[in-house]
């Protein structure tokens, strides 16, 4: 089932650009890449889909044909009559080095052809087989699990969606949006899960979908691993990473295992390239650019909060009435904010930034740092009052920044506050958690 995805306008802009290059769509398995491009293909006179996991499709690129003869062979094989606008979709492109190399010639010799490539394990397999995209001759977009905005559309909440998209969200929509965001935070944004929920409105029926998704990631392990030993470590990381999510992690003995730092680090980086998880290395400075410090322990971000909740057995917390900002010691709220920030940009892979200060008896961590209008804005995900924002106050006092955001289970408000220790005045904007997907791109300072 095809849903509205916020990346579609960028696909349209790409298609309308006369100087466009072949487009590579990156994203984790089951985030909806193939469905998205099939739906987008309806805008063209002709749509041709190749899946290079199929030998017949992959063999087309092994015939050493010129680019125009290759295209004719593809049309013949797929029984497609050319139109004035033709979209060629090459799925699982990482399975054919010659297909990747051919992108250059599609760009140079057939600029009238629209070409999109995608793959579930794109980065992993290309690195494994020493394949690289032609430099300067392809463009990239990233697809993540569905955002809250996309969730509202997919579940038929049209009125709530309309109000959510307004520049100033009406106060009468607050309770409804807060409830829907809590539901979204527990269900997550994997398209198959959202589709099942939209059809049944029954969270209990989502269990086999979650299980199938997690099993599919485990089944991919042989594709990631070079050796049986490496496969065992990757499988261990997949199985234990939900329990380490939201924490600053150490590689040594990750997930209470016996594996060494180097082994775990390599497995984590493989799974990061597969976009199954993300390592959010912190910054420790106060000025632009915010450069990650790779000597510090990273915080772990999982692919999808719904999958995370299922793996931890937390999905039914939705029915408990516990505020989202308090669930699992606030980790679920913080994680879904990170997921929304990550998905707020499709043209770059910008992992959400956190700030840390590590000193004896004086540690501090601020959940997120965003940059708006050339300014650094610290963002905390909290449920308490402003007086409990110890780490945020430490950052404000050290940096001199006078503006901060707090995301919480409450309504929008603005406070003129000051830090308890240095009495440094600052403006604190309190925003409901459901604002998370908007703050990085449309919230004015």
The 3-class secondary structure across 285-335, one letter per residue, is CCCCCCCCCCCCCCEEEECCHHHHHHHHCCHHHHHHCCCCCCHHHHHHHHH
What mean pLDDT do residues 105-133 have?
Answer: 86
What mean pLDDT do residues 251-264 have?
Answer: 96
Q: What percent of the chain has pLDDT over 90?
A: 78
What mean pLDDT do residues 423-430 have?
Answer: 95
Place of tokens 């892979």: 349
Q: What percent of the chain has pLDDT over 70?
A: 97
Distance CA 416, CA 428 (A): 6
Query: Do 163 and 130 belong together in one domain?
Result: no
Q: Cβ of 331: how many Cβ atoms within 10 Å?
A: 17
Mean pLDDT estimate for the chain: 92
Query: Do 229 and 309 belong together in one domain?
Result: yes
Contacts for 154-159: CB closer than 8 Å, 24+ residues apart: 154/3, 154/4, 154/194, 154/195, 154/198, 155/180, 155/194, 155/197, 155/198, 156/198
169: helix, coil or strand?
coil
**Residue 366 pLDDT exceeds 90:** yes
Q: Cβ of 217: how many Cβ atoms within 10 Å?
A: 20
Q: Residues 207-247: pLDDT tens digits?
A: 999 999 999 999 999 888 889 999 999 999 999 999 999 99
- DSSP annotation of 365 reads E
**Residue 425 pLDDT exceeds 50:** yes
**Residue 325 pLDDT exceeds 80:** no
Q: Is the dihedral of CA 151, 156, 162, 164 positive or negative?
A: negative
Q: Which of 258, 230, 434 is nearest to 336 (CA)?
A: 434
Q: What is the pLDDT of residue 413?
A: 93
Q: Which range, 187-201, 223-237, 345-359, has the best average confidence (pLDDT)?
A: 187-201
Residue 267 CB-density burial (10 A; 0-12 exposed, 13-18 middle, 19+ buried): buried
Given pLDDT bands bounded at 50, 70 and 90, which one contains residue 444? Answer: low
Query: Do 131 and 56 belong together in one domain?
Result: yes
152-166, 411-425, 428-442 — which is least confidently predicted?
A: 428-442
Q: What is the DSSP string of 119-165?
A: -TTHHHHHHHTT--PPTTS-EEEE--SPPHHHHHHHTT-HHHHHHHT
Query: Do 162 and 135 belong together in one domain?
Result: no
Q: What is the pLDDT of residue 442?
A: 58
Q: Which of 273, 278, 274 is nearest to 249 (CA)?
A: 278
Distance CA 59, CA 38 (A): 22
Residue 37 CB-density burial (10 A; 0-12 exposed, 13-18 middle, 19+ buried): buried
Q: What is the pLDDT of residue 395?
A: 95
- DSSP annotation of 227 reads S
82-96, 168-182, 371-385 — which is least confidently predicted?
A: 371-385
**Residue 127 pLDDT exceeds 80:** no
**Residue 445 pLDDT exceeds 60:** no
Query: Do 58 and 170 belong together in one domain?
Result: no
Query: Do 165 and 232 belong together in one domain?
Result: yes
Q: Is 411 within a domain?
A: no
What is the edge-to-edge ordering of all strands in the sheet holding 403-408?
Answer: 353-357, 364-372, 375-381, 403-408, 425-432, 413-418
Query: Do 167 and 130 belong together in one domain?
Result: no
Query: Do 249 and 322 belong together in one domain?
Result: yes
Q: Residues 271, 224: contact at Cβ < 8 Å?
A: yes
Query: Do 263 and 116 belong together in one domain?
Result: no
Q: Residues 142-151: pLDDT tens digits?
A: 999 999 999 9
Q: What is the pLDDT of residue 320?
A: 81
Q: Is 359 within a domain?
A: no
Query: Which of 87, 113, 142 is the last residue before a domain boundary?
Result: 142
Q: Is 87 within a domain?
A: yes
Query: Do 107 and 17 belong together in one domain?
Result: yes
Inter-CA distances, 217 with 213, 241, 276, 291, Å: 7, 13, 8, 31
| Count: domains in the chain | 2
CATH at 113: 3.40.50.300
Query: Do 63 and 209 belong together in one domain?
Result: no
Q: Is 216 within a domain?
A: yes
State the Cα angle at 145 between 142 and 234, rounded to 5°: 85
Q: Is 17 within a domain?
A: yes
Query: Do 41 and 133 belong together in one domain?
Result: yes
134: domain range?
Answer: 8-142
Q: Which of 100, 86, 85 is nearest to 52 (CA)?
A: 100
Q: What is the pLDDT of residue 121?
A: 80
Q: Residues 262-275: pLDDT tens digits?
A: 999 999 999 999 99
135-139, 211-215, 327-331 — which is least confidently predicted?
A: 327-331
């Amino acid at each position: 089932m095809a849903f509205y995805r916020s990346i579609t306008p960028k696909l349209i802009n790409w298609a309308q650009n006369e100087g466009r290059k072949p487009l590579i769509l990156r994203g984790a398995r089951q985030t909806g890449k193939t469905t998205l491009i099939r739906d987008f293909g309806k805008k063209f006179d002709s749509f041709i889909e190749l899946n290079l996991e199929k030998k017949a499709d992959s063999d087309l690129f092994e015939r050493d044909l010129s680019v125009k003869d290759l295209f004719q062979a593809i049309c013949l094989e797929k029984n497609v009559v050319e139109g004035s606008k033709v979209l060629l979709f090459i799925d699982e492109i990482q399975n054919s080095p010659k297909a990747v190399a051919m992108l250059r010639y599609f760009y140079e010799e057939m600029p009238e052809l629209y070409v999109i490539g995608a793959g579930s394990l794109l980065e992993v397999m290309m690195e494994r087989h020493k394949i690289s995209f032609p430099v300067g001759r392809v463009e990239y977009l990233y697809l993540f699990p569905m955002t809250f905005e996309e969730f509202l559309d997919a579940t038929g909440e049209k009125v709530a969606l309309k109000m959510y998209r307004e520049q100033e969200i009406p106060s009468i929509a607050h309770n409804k949006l807060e409830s829907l965001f809590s539901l979204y935070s527990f269900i997550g944004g994997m398209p198959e899960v959202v589709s099942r929920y939209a059809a049944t409105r029954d969270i209990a029926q989502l269990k086999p979908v979650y299980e199938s998704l997690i099993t599919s990631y485990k089944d991919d392990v042989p594709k990631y691993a070079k050796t049986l030993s490496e496969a065992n470590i990757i499988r261990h990381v997949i199985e234990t990473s939900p329990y380490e999510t939201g924490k600053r992690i150490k590689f040594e003995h990750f997930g209470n295992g016996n594996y060494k730092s180097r082994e775990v680090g390599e497995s984590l980086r493989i799974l990061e390239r597969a976009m199954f998880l993300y390592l959010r290395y912190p910054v420790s400075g106060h000025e632009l650019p915010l450069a990650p410090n790779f000597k510090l322990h990273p915080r772990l971000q999982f692919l999808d909060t719904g999958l995370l909740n299922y793996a931890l057995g937390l999905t039914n917390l939705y029915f408990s009435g516990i505020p989202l900002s308090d669930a699992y010691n606030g980790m679920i709220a913080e994680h879904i904010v990170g997921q929304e920030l990550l998905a707020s940009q499709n043209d770059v892979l910008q992992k959400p930034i956190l700030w840390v200060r590590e000193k004896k008896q004086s540690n501090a961590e601020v959940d997120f740092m965003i940059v708006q209008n050339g300014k650094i804005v610290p963002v905390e995900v909290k449920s308490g009052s402003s007086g409990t924002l110890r780490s945020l106050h430490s950052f404000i006092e050290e940096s001199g920044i006078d503006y901060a955001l707090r995301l919480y289970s409450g309504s929008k408000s603005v406070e003129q506050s000051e830090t308890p220790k240095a009495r440094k005045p600052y403006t604190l904007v309190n925003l409901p958690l459901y604002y998370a997907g908007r703050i990085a791109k449309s919230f004015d300072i």
